[in-house]
A and B are shown apart, each in its own frame.
Chain A
Amino acid sequence: MATGTDPDVVLEVRGLRTRFRTDHGEVPAVNGVDLTIRRGRTLCVVGESGCGKSVTARSILQLVEPPGRITGGQVLLHPDSRAPADGAPAAAGADAAPADRPLDLAALKPKGKEIRRVRGRDIAMIFQEPMASLSLVHRVGNQIGESIRVHNPVSKKEAREISVGLLGQVGIPNPERLIDVYPFQLSGGMRQRVMIAMALSCEPRMLIADEPTTALDVTTQAQILDLLADLQRRRGMAMLFITHDMGVVAEIADDVAVMYLGNVVEHGSVDEVFHAPKHPYTRALLDSIPRMGGPRRDRLPAIRGTVPDPSTRPTGCVFRDRCDAAMPGLCDTVDPPPIDVGNGRLVRCLLYGGAEGRSPDPQAGTAGDDPRPASPSGKEAADVDAN
């Protein structure tokens, strides 16, 4: 899947592992995640609380705080393919990595100069709670201007003019006046717009949005989503969008990565994943969404059981205890590898291969009620991803 030559790839995450050191040993929060984020496209990472989606997003910019740390994998920031004619490349290229090779962000020091140059300038980030994510005692203009001036040699006055323009672009009325207010004087939606303006201030190639609409009411949520989609289209930005809301995914995503307990269990384009979910977890997630106009049912199907504690990960497939299609003797011993099922879709489930040479426990023959009978065997052997 490595698409080193694809000029549209902005960022590639390969085998990322992030662990948290606790009194009870190391807890893996992200356990070998692969993601590819392309220019002009939105990748939604979706999953339950605690599945590692936020930690993945933070790991990209080395923003995981101790006791968490990245223990493996690569985060490759590909060089800017749009002819960088902004005067900066000469300076940046001289002391940074050679401009024609991808830069591994995971290998940089979390407080070093190199990663700081990427933060905000190449990759910007917005967060879940606009109230808590902005400093309440600094003026809006101060906070936006600061993010401009840290990467660009402009005067305070110029930064202020740029900030006013940005506030206008994100739909804040009367930006000349509101640039001088404090965030606590704004509504939640307005605060998130300020966050977005701040993130866009250095024209990043990629935006990471970590549940940016979760803390907002539904109307505001829709407005913010429209704004993000619109800004992305106009700027051709890549976007990594973290959410637990399938409705948001349907609205904004081009591609989806479904995460479960630190792994991406299914990856594909939004249409394919929504219309033909492969992984039992994805199917269960989609089944548990209430539908308007659909058949009226008494109860929504819920996924039984709870997410296992990441510090005591079960062997084999981590979803098997909650899975209706689990194959005893197989799922509890083999850790499913990512299987390419065509069209760039990856699934981590033994139903689609990855357990060659082993067969399900014959005693427990009739595995579950609907095992989606064994995937076309023989084909998958060739598809097993080398990674």
Chain B
Amino acid sequence: MASSLISSKSKIRLLAVSLLFALCALSLPSSSYSQVDTFEFDTDEQQQRFRSLSDELRCPMCQNSSLSGSTGGVAEDLRREIHRMIMEGMSDAEITQFMFERYGDFILFRPRLTAGTILLWFGPLLFLLIGAVVAFGIWRRARKISDDDAELDKSQQERLQKLLGDKS
């Protein structure tokens, strides 16, 4: 009875966790939210480039959505500009540079590597290193302590034997 109760409880928990995961997956930003534009492209590659550029560039007006996911006026204009530049044969780097010159770092979801963003790029690595140093220190000290403790001197040995003897 008790065991079946536990298992049904854990089943519910499992269900709750998987529901949570499903919700998270649903709320992930994806290009399925893309605005519907009627741009025409000559090749699929151009269309692919348009999609990835408008996913990687941020809408200036609406703070946290990409150009592809925004209904804002500026976003609409910038999508049109991206389309124009792709059709004129400009490279992705040139288009990104065009946007950067006008809207700065803000428009890039993937920030450039500069003195100001170096912590942003390598901060996690830095914290990982600090963590590794601390973990190594703890491990080394733990090993040292256990080595020291393994060696009992004579009086300690005698006391141990006495204690064990008393017990048995």
Q: Do A and B bind each other?
A: no
Query: Chain B: residues with CB nearer than 8 A to chain A?
Result: none
Query: Chain A: residues with CB nearer than 8 A to chain B?
Result: none
